[in-house]
């Protein structure tokens, strides 16, 4: 049996390229469950894997794609049977293990979750790793005491995949959301998702830096890191909470101890890769019951396997709004 896959390879000069090829099932990696993939997503990390960035892929040839949804083809694990609908995110699939940019994948059963009731495989990839990460961040902040009555929540990098879904989920849960973005053309789309206001990134960063600035935010979900996260920390209210998700703006953290010891704020790192099964299932169930797929429809774009290399460049350049879905078959 054969299947189509976007195979990524590196030549002797270190150049990384990708092309769609027919592969034999014998080339699939080891695993308990074989899945026929219907949909995958495009994430920032996928862009790095397809271009050789970040040192994420060490062994070539490789099949990227850090998340996918499809149907079990066969399984040696009693938890799954042929015909079951499943979703995969995390566990370094698409980095160290062949991922979702193929019509077929073989993975460990522990990495899968059943497709939540009420979602189709396409719906699940609209959410994807981005939406799961957003919900994990919200769950963590609420566990630390955040509630809609706490005050305004800032979402940075709000026009991207995680940012748009975080904005939508927070608004649906009753929070007042301020969406920070460097792309003014997306302001109306963010307001349509439920943002009460849009903050221009350049104006945000242009404010004079002080160890502590005017306290405004009850919480922050930060997708950017670097200077943006440092600035946001200085503006969090007493007892506020911050979730750090991404580092597209840099890995340095520019801050002092003052927000922590004088305002008692808390900073949480959110890892969506190695989450336990029960945590992933609970987050997916909450997403299925909360996320407004219809309202998000205008922020979804579909591509085929052949178009992925170009789309990878776009997401790394910050040119993608919302979510890019990969129609695998």
What are the residue boundaries of the structural domains of the chain, listed by start? 2-115+300-327, 128-269
Third-level CATH fold of 128-269: Rossmann fold (3.40.50)
Residue in this structure with the two tokens 């469950």, named with its chain if needed? 33
> What pLDDT, on a 0 to 100 scale, did the predictor assign at position 248?
83
Which of these, 275, 285, 165, 172, lies nearest to 221 by C-alpha position? 165
Q: What is the mean pLDDT of each run of 10 residues along the chain (329 residues)?
A: 95 94 96 98 95 92 98 97 98 97 98 96 96 98 98 96 95 98 90 96 92 97 96 98 93 94 98 95 97 94 97 92 93
Distance between CA atoms of 160 and 186, rounded to whole angstroms?
A: 10
Angle at 92 between CA 316 and CA 167, to 5 degrees: 55
> What pLDDT, on a 0 to 100 scale, did the predictor assign at position 318?
86
Residue in this structure with the two tokens 């080339």, named with its chain if needed? 27
DSSP assignment of 9-32, as one string? EE-TT--EEEEEEEEEGGGS---S
- The 8-class DSSP code of residue 97 comes to B
CB 206 within 8 A of CB 229: no
Distance between CA atoms of 163 and 322, rounded to whole angstroms?
A: 8
| Tokens coding 82 | 């042929």
| Tokens coding 328 | 């695998």
* CA 299 to centroid of chain Cα atoms: 15
CB 255 within 8 A of CB 325: no
CA dist 54 → 14, 248, 273, 326 (Å):
14, 12, 16, 22
> What pLDDT, on a 0 to 100 scale, did the predictor assign at position 322?
87
Q: Give the 3-state secondary structure of residue 120.
A: coil
Provide the greatest CA pair distance for the chain: 63
Distance between CA atoms of 155 and 196, rounded to whole angstroms?
A: 11
| Tokens coding 101 | 């940019």
Third-level CATH fold of 2-115+300-327: Quinone Oxidoreductase; Chain A, domain 1 (3.90.180)
| Tokens coding 238 | 């007493």
Distance between CA atoms of 215 and 259, rounded to whole angstroms?
A: 10
| Tokens coding 282 | 């609970």
- Tell me: the pLDDT tens digits for 251-262? 999 899 999 999
Whether the bond between 61 and the residue before it is cis, its omega within 30 degrees of 0, is: yes
- Tell me: the pLDDT tens digits for 70-101? 999 999 999 999 999 999 999 999 999 999 99
> What pLDDT, on a 0 to 100 scale, did the predictor assign at position 171?
98
Distance between CA atoms of 56 and 67, rounded to whole angstroms?
A: 15
Reduce the secondary structure of 47-60 to three states and give it as a string: HHHHHCHHHCCCCC
Beta bridge partners of 112: 88
Question: How do 33-42 and 323-327 pair as beta strands?
Answer: antiparallel
Residue in this structure with the two tokens 């305002």, named with its chain if needed? 263
Q: Is 151 left (phi over 0), alpha (psi -120 to 50) or beta?
A: left
| Angle between the N-to-C axes of helices 277-290 and 121-143, in degrees from 0 to 180, rounded to the nearest 10 | 110
């Amino acid at each position: 049996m054969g299947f189509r896959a976007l195979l990524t390879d590196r030549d002797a000069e270190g150049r990384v390229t990708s092309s769609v090829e027919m592969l034999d099932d014998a080339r699939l990696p080891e695993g308990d469950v074989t899945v026929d993939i219907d949909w995958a997503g495009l994430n920032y990390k996928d862009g790095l894997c397809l271009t050789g960035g970040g040192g994420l892929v060490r062994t070539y040839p490789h099949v990227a794609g850090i998340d996918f949804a499809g149907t079990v083809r066969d399984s040696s694990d009693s938890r799954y049977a042929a015909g079951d609908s499943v979703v995969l995110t995390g566990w370094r699939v698409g980095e160290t293990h062949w991922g979702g940019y193929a019509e077929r994948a073989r993975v460990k059963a522990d990495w899968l979750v059943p497709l939540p009731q009420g979602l189709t495989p396409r719906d699940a990839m609209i959410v994807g790793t981005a939406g799961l990460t957003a919900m994990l961040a919200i769950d963590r902040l609420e566990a630390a005491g955040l509630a809609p009555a706490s005050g305004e929540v800032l979402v940075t990098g709000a026009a991207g995949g995680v940012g748009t879904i975080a904005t939508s989920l927070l608004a649906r849960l009753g929070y007042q959301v301020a969406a920070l973005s460097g792309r003014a053309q997306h302001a109306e789309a963010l307001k349509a998702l439920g943002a009460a206001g849009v903050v221009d990134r350049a104006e945000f960063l242009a404010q004079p830096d002080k160890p502590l600035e005017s306290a405004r935010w009850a919480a922050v979900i930060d997708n950017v890191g670097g200077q943006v996260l440092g600035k946001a920390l200085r503006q969090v209210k007493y007892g506020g909470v911050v979730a750090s998700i991404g580092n597209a703006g840099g890995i340095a953290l520019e801050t002092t101890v003052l927000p922590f010891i004088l305002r008692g704020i808390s900073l949480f790192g959110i890892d969506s890769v190695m989450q336990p099964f029960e945590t992933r299932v609970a987050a997916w169930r909450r997403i299925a019951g909360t996320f407004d797929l219809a309202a998000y429809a205008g922020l979804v774009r579909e591509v085929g396997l052949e178009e992925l290399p170009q789309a990878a460049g776009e997401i790394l350049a910050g040119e993608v709004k919302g979510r890019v879905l990969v129609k695998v078959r």
